[in-house]
Chain A
Amino acid sequence: MSQWFVLYRKEWLELIRSGKLIWVPVVFILLGASQPIVSYMLPEIIAGAGNMPEGTVIELPTLTASGVMVQTLQQFGTLGLLIIALISMGTVSNERLSGTSAMILVKPVAYSSFVTAKWAAMLTITAISFGLGYGAGWYYTAALFGSVSLLAAAGSSLLFGLWLGFVGTVTILFSTLLRSAAAAAFSALGAAALLSIATTLLPKALAWSPGKLTELAAAQLMSGHASGLWPVVSITIISIIAALALAVWHLRQHPSIEAV
């Protein structure tokens, strides 16, 4: 176990030294805060544009506080997801390509520790960034539109956070399977998009799909409860474990690429 913490500490140190621990939370906070602020200012922005014909009446739907929070989540679902894929895409493949994985894995290091330490570091930075970003969104929504119950916000953040963690795990899996970091990010985002679309198109058949997590998070926000939650959560957790196991298995077969 102490060896696992040594590995985790190294990942953590790398997050700090590379500056990721600064810029990723900052971007998430900007994403989270900008959505309620922009929604609030939108009528004025349009009025200030000044090129409207005289007498134009613009009717904007009245936004509820929870509606704004759902929009904020959608921001995290696109740009946030992209950032998580970008910071995780090289986590294993870069080490295999540069040869550092060969340096480490000739030591008595468990392959599973090597992968899970990276995975835990990814979860940590995701949790911190998303927590701060969502918190910022919640704060500005409360200030500008009216409060959203903390319980609904917290529940939806757990569900949505699980989705982010799932996509991060898939990125790490592809980072282990593929040589190219860019291909890993592309595959992971592609898989996430496919899963989301398929779940929307076939809601009945894919009622258990992890792609449903975003929908559940929104439902949790709007109505305070999400039905059909547990199958999705369990399947997601099982998929995460399976992805990690596959990554470990593949790494054990091919600890370094330059060796071949």
Chain B
Amino acid sequence: MALLTVKGLTKSFESTQAVNSIGFTIHEGRCVALLGPNGAGKTTAIRMLTGLIAPTSGDIEFHGIGPGADRRSLIGFLPQVPAFYNWMTGREFLIYAGRLCGLSAKEAQTRSSELLERVGIASAAKRRIAGYSGGMKQRLGLAQALIHRPKLLILDEPVSALDPIGRREVMELLRSLKLETTVLFSTHVLHDAEELCDDVLIMRAGRIAVGGSIQDIRSEHRQPILSLEIEQDEHSRKWLQNWLKTPPAYVKTYSALSGGVRLVVDDVNAARRNLLAELVESDVRMTKLEIGHTTLEDLFMKAVTE
């Protein structure tokens, strides 16, 4: 069931268009990654969803809330750099956040204890936030976003600023969270998206370049690939150079590898037969020939650089 539909969402600042008429739908229970290089407009898009920036034009529609209801009550948000009142303790901030979301004093307290435990900072709960490390602040930020059991959890680059261990731990947390609620998070690391998400939206220069479920995208954009590596003797290198000057018709694109070439082909069987024959005929000293498929990374690179 659709939870959120976005249509024609646009934000222009004085001279630039940060987000240019994007549209997508988020279904309940899915984990969605907003993927793209830095400056693609991810943060601006996310801030419009949370209401922190007013869109220049376009619609954001949450399903299942009455007209005029505050959509902020459905959203839990963790900004890229969460900021806190440093004079509060972690526990105080959570209770404050919970009370602001309409929990009773008692609910806010039990929920805070529960979440402090869950994100693993229960032992620091009574310390001032001023003394927290970056990783602890990120966890506290996650806890405050979850305090009112939001229907949609929005996270802006949740792991970018963390060291490898903190990153692993937050990813594990997200893995368990996505079973409970709908998650939208932005990242510029494809690997994170692949690891956790059901759907991806790849943004580039304010537009959505590719969007859909990871499986669909993978199978739709999957192309066979041949990687060939050769020994670095004179004869073999010359042959490869000449061969690439007029590549056969089955080669769609190619790129250089260290000591070889990577070919994207259309008919993998023809390509295999033909290439092997040529290698034998010209007596090329091949060291490796691998047949595989384009990865999501290839697609990502293609989508963001094209």
Contacts and interface: CB of A to CB of B under 8 A. Distances in A.
A13 B72 CA distance: 26
A108 B73 contact: yes
B87 A103 contact: no
Interface string A1-43: 0110011001001100110000000000000000000000000
Contact of A100 (B54, B84, B100, B101): B84
Interface residues of B, number: 29
A7 B81 contact: no
B40 to A, nearest CB: 16
A256 B79 CA distance: 12
Contacts of B73: 107-108
A108 B79 contact: no
Give the interface SS of chain B, mostly helix, strand, loop or mixed: loop
A2 to B, nearest CB: 8
Nearest to A252: B54
A23 to B, nearest CB: 16
Contact of B82 (A7, A99, A109): A99
Interface string A108-138: 1100000000000000000000000000000
Contact of A103 (B47, B51, B82): B82
Give the interface SS of chain A, mostly helix, strand, loop or mixed: helix
Contacts of A105: 51-52
B14 to A, nearest CB: 10
A56 B88 CA distance: 62
Most buried by A among B77, B97, B99, B100: B100
B96 interface: yes
A106 interface: yes
Interface of B: 13, 47, 50-54, 70, 72-73, 75, 77, 79, 81-85, 87-88, 96-97, 99-102, 141, 144, 148
Given A105-B52, A108-B102, 11 more contacts: A98-B83, A99-B79, A99-B82, A102-B52, A103-B83, A104-B100, A106-B72, A107-B97, A107-B148, A109-B100, A256-B52
